[in-house]
Amino acid sequence: MSNTTINTTSSPTAILNDGGEPGYTFPNSFGYYGKFGGAFIPEMLHRNVEELRNRYLEIMQEPSFQQEFNDLLRDYVGRPTPLYYAKRLSEQYKTKLYLKREDLNHTGAHKINNAIGQVLLAQRLGKKHIIAETGAGQHGVATATVCALKGVECIVYMGVKDIERQAPNVARMKMLGAKVMPAASGSQTLKDATNEAIRHWINNPADTHYVIGSVVGPHPYPDMVARFQSVISQETRWQLKQQTGSELPTHVMACVGGGSNAAGAFYHFLDELSVQLVAVEAAGHGVNSGMSAATTQLGKPGVLHGSKSLVMQTADGQVVEPHSISAGLDYPGIGPMHAHLFDSGRGTFLSATDEEAVQAAFELCKLEGIIPALESAHALAAIKEMKYKESDVVVVCLSGRGDKDLGTYMKYM
Ligand SMILES: *Cc1c(COP(=O)(O)O)cnc(C)c1O
């Protein structure tokens, strides 16, 4: 059954509603998914995080919030994004492969879904200022975009090294009116920018909201971000129904940095145990090369950026500097939902090296005429590692487009 009608009236409201048992989808009231999660925060931030925890569900359920969120997703972001049957890629792998086209969102990736949700929420909390941290600049650009749209002041912390490496995104943020603050401490990358953003928040707790860009951070951030991103799987369900006759695929695959596109792509399938959830981490130069970001393979339980999860660390608990060719996957931790999916066996965790990701990106260009983000290319690379039946229905989350990665791709041409 094939039906090309786009259901533009389908709204993502269901995801914003409270309820449900703690399990794969919902954390318990302390923010735990199994052994992972919680809120490990300095005393000074207690009031802010507590205010957010007390109000986020109530605000997300307000009809006026849902109306504004859904309208912006439709008219500004361009949702629903297509679920595209990749015919030539399917022939290559002898199965049915569908791409969820988050690359077609405004600003080029899934991150805008969450940025819109959090800025609208911050306004309802009465916050006048927005801060964020960014590594590659993608989350910074998404946040600066929404702040421009809403006329809100925006400060983005970014490591000095990243500012040098990511000049186009720095220019974008500035053009969008954001202030980019260099983080000069430590390794001058993402983790230092995060520390600076947290310091800013501690000093300005009353009027500032900190927009975290993935399903990481203290409770309620992982749950809140997962709910904003869950529109991805909510659309996938009805799109699959239209195109295949069934709402359920056999597999959903997504790359995992902190894990927000994967959380969104998995969300409405988490408790559908027939659906295999495949998370793909960045192996960098190889899982055991010392230059990797494959957190579930290398990490141990620990606390990073406000929650307990799996963290790449030395024997005495120092965070290990990760490596991936894709800046979005270059993170030494993973969100607590994913740590639980790994720990419980509900999720299948694979990894792809830098080289494998680049090859997969070139293959998608050649077979489908789509240049994927390097992050998304990791999910594509893992297709090779899977054993599919011809009748399987495999959804791959194409989290972003590859324009930002042309410089890297050119080195391989
Ligand atoms: C940031 C980013 C990612 C990684 O972040 P998640 O929170 O793991 O989704 C993946 N793909 C793209 C295109 C990104 O910009």
Q: For residue range 159-174, what is the model confidence (pLDDT) as tens digits?
A: 998 899 889 999 999 9
- Beta strand ranges found along 20-89 (DSSP E): 32-33, 36-37, 83-85
> What is the span of the domain harbouring residue 288?
75-109+229-410
Indicate if 185 belongs to the active site: no
Residues 383 and 239 in one domain: yes
Establish if 276 belongs to a structural domain. yes
pLDDT reported for residue 19: 45
- pLDDT reading at 16 higher than 90: no
Establish if 175 belongs to a structural domain: yes
Q: Is residue 330 part of a domain?
A: yes
Secondary structure of residue 86 in the 3-state scheme: coil
Tell me if 112 sits within 8 A of 145, measured CB to CB: yes
Q: In this predicted model, what pLDDT tens digit does every residue of 291-347 receive, in sequence order? A: 999 999 999 999 998 999 999 999 999 988 899 999 889 889 999 999 999 999 999
Is 3 within a domain? no
**Residue 56 belongs to domain with CATH number:** 3.40.50.1100
- Mapped onto helix, strand or coil, the DSSP state of residue 358 is helix
For 244, residues 6+ apart whose C-beta sits below 8 A from its C-beta are 1, 96, 393
Q: Which atom of ligand 1 is least distant from the CA of 103?
A: 13
Clarify whether residues 292 and 235 are in a common domain.
yes
Rounded average pLDDT over 352-373: 98
Q: Assess if residue 13 is contained within a domain.
A: no
Among residues 202, 225, 248, the one where a domain terminates is 225
Sign of CA dihedral 246, 249, 255, 259: positive
pLDDT at residue 22, rounded to an integer? 57
Does 103 contact ligand 1 (Cβ within 6 A)? no
**What is the number of domains present in the chain?**
2
CA distance 387 to 93: 9
C-alpha distance from residue 146 to each of 41, 56, 230, 323 (Å):
27, 19, 19, 29
- DSSP, collapsed to helix, strand or coil, labels residue 300 as strand
Alpha helices in 73-220 (DSSP H): 87-93, 111-124, 138-150, 160-165, 167-175, 190-203
Are 118 and 241 in the same domain? no
111 is known as an active-site residue: yes
Task: Please say whether the beta carbons of 158 and 133 come within 8 A.
Answer: yes
Q: How confident is residue 21, by pLDDT bands cut at 50, 70 and 90?
A: low
Centre of ligand 1 from the C-alpha of residue 257, in Å = 6
> Which of 255, 331, 349 most suits a substitution to test ligand 1, by most atoms within 8 Å of the C-beta?
255
pLDDT (0 to 100) of residue 142:
98
Q: Do 100 and 243 reside in the same domain of the chain? A: yes
In a shared domain, residues 196 and 86: no
- 150-154 average pLDDT score: 97
Which atom of ligand 1 lies at the shortest distance from residue 264's CA?
A: 9
